[in-house]
Structure 1
Amino acid sequence: MQRLSCAGVAVFEVGRERASRGRVRLAAERRRYFDLVADGVGTVEACRRVGVDRRTGHYWRHGRPSRARANAAPRRSRPEPGPGRFLTVDERIAIADGLAAGRSRRAIAAELGRSPSTVAREIARNARPRGEYRPHAAHDLARARRPRPKPGKIAASPELRERVQAMLHEKFSPEQIAARLRRDHPDRPELHVTHETIYQALYVQGRGELRRELARALRTGRTTRTPRASGEQRRPRFAEPMVMISDRPAEADDRAVPGHWEGDLIIGKDNASAIATLVERATRYTLLVPLPHGRGADAVRDALAAATATLPAHLQRSLTWDQGSEMGRHHEFTIATGIPVYFCDPHSPWQRGSNENTNGLLRQYFPKSTDLSAHTPEHLAAVAAQLNRRPRKTLNWDTPAERLATLLTKTS
């Protein structure tokens, strides 16, 4: 090392190996400097150990030359919330080092395990006016922008607020409002707003961005947001473990082999009556099962077992149901009939698409808010027979009854 002095006082030390490398080559020194500062070493001492002028150290750290704060104690950053959401000081230092070394933003993002757009936005938001990126200055800027609450876009723009309120009066949904504003005013970004922003302005207490009575214009009529638990947060519905639809045989998924059924209930007035519906996946053949003793787990178990007992053995392969409480005795049904029961994922009615479609057709015969217990088993059989005589586009205009008859003929 070579020591330079002025009037007998040591100022800084410069390693001979670094004397001619230029400022772009200081990435290693900068990392060592920040490591020393993080360990509690003073700025002047850290600069001396690394071998750079103290003004360079202060410029790295604060983004401005050092004057009165040359001997100030090092600033200790507060603990970061974690690697998931916000960039940390170390990540910003890595971005600065990558830019100094001439690496692309995509390469820097790959090194950090972040999205390239995250790195690009960080540089665009927090770089100096001349394009220089200083990590600690950028960190200070980001933290200054983080505090909440902030005024919403609707509150800050009277014109936008009036337009949104007018559309709400016309019963537009927030999604329709957001799409219409973008389509009608493509060159005015100040009038562009997301549907979530509109919901926030309606539901969040104390904002006053939109009049609360406008929430009643929404289709739900709710004036507050009701949280919904996700499927992953649900507790197990039944005492006996469920076999999920992901474990169902592949032959049931592609409808190549008959005998796999989908089931559900259609509910009558005041939830007091119900009918069980069974639809065969390959032929779309429908069975209607009366529930004269209610829709409790025991009653549904016995009714389904009696209905499936009338089927040929090769049409008793599986049953797919949703996670309704009426299937609480599913294990007993399987023991009695030998038919395994597979359960759909929460909030996934499309996994029983044939049954959902059939239930919609059945509402032509059994309207909502009517007493379903008034229909005799004979009437249910007649309705199912008529439905099975309807030609279906998905069957190339064959009827379910014709498909089932062909299947039974081939089997016999």
Structure 2
Amino acid sequence: MDCHNYITVPPERKRGQHLGREERGAIQQLKKQGYSLRAIAREIKCSPSTILYELRRGTPLRKSHRGRAPEYSAKRGRAVYENNRLNCRRPHHIDRCSDFAAWVAKQVRTKKWSLDACVGYAKLHGRFALSEMVCTKTLYNEISSGNLPLSLFDLPEILKRKQRRKIPRQHKRLKGRSIDERPEIVALREEFGHWEADTVVGRKRGQEAVVLTLIERVTNQYLAIRIPGKNSVAVNHAMEELRAEYGDLFGKVFQSITADNGSEFEDFAKLEDWGTSIYFAHPYSSWERPVNERHNGLLRQYIPKGVSIEKYSPEEILFFADELNSRPRKRLGYRTPEELFEAFLDNLYAA
């Protein structure tokens, strides 16, 4: 009777494959029959050195010159092999970096820093010796393996899904000059004084306070101002307060501002009378203001979606912005936005 589901031809042995139970049993029998190392290797289809190492593993040491010489045992060879496999894995570098790991966990929990910001800041300021640190990728791998006192929920940015860019929709009327008219130097992030603006809401329904946010594209300096409502009057009043703070230098600090087409920016183009160029992104194209959108997402670490802004005082909103400005950034060479912005202001006032 034919058995179509069974074969008697053993599968071809792959190069570099470890010895199995059947192969060790074959080595034991061939050795008893007096086969040489090379003859056994031809039968097993492996390197003669593999047979030599296996015979050394499976043959116990001779304790005296009396009696018969110890013989190879496939069972002993398998036991030694499995014991060696327990110790052959590469050790975790995080085990010798306990102080660095504890510091990273503290920065992530208390200051909400990213893992890369922790690594870059520690290297820049020489906080730890290089031998006492691990790289950013290793930190992420150790978190996934559960070897750090952190979870993925302590780093919500990991869980965010990637956004795809969409083709701009043109059917909505722009409230001023289009972003297409903006100078190319703004996109290059080489000149100080170009900002992006938006608003962050708490509850979508109801008339309540919102947060007006602005961010400078070169230094990543982030301004967050609590305003009483999502309307053009509140937005323009907040900008008037900023103008009073910077005085005659307002037009140099705020050379241009790029906003979206929300109703709160209906009269935003009036700021051009103060020497600031105002541009509007294409409708439904938030990716044209990437820096601002990114930092609004970071602000959500302090103001979760659905939570009313009325619960936070203006001082608390300013504190949240200061926390973001004190975080080291990879794009800034692991310096903080606040120190770069202060340096730019010093140069501006000196001039």
Q: TM-score interval w.r.t. the shorter chain?
A: 0.3 to 0.5
Relative contact order, higher structure (CA 8 A, sep 6+): 2
Normalised to the residue count of structure 1, the TM-score between the two structures is: 0.41
Normalised to the residue count of structure 2, the TM-score between the two structures is: 0.48
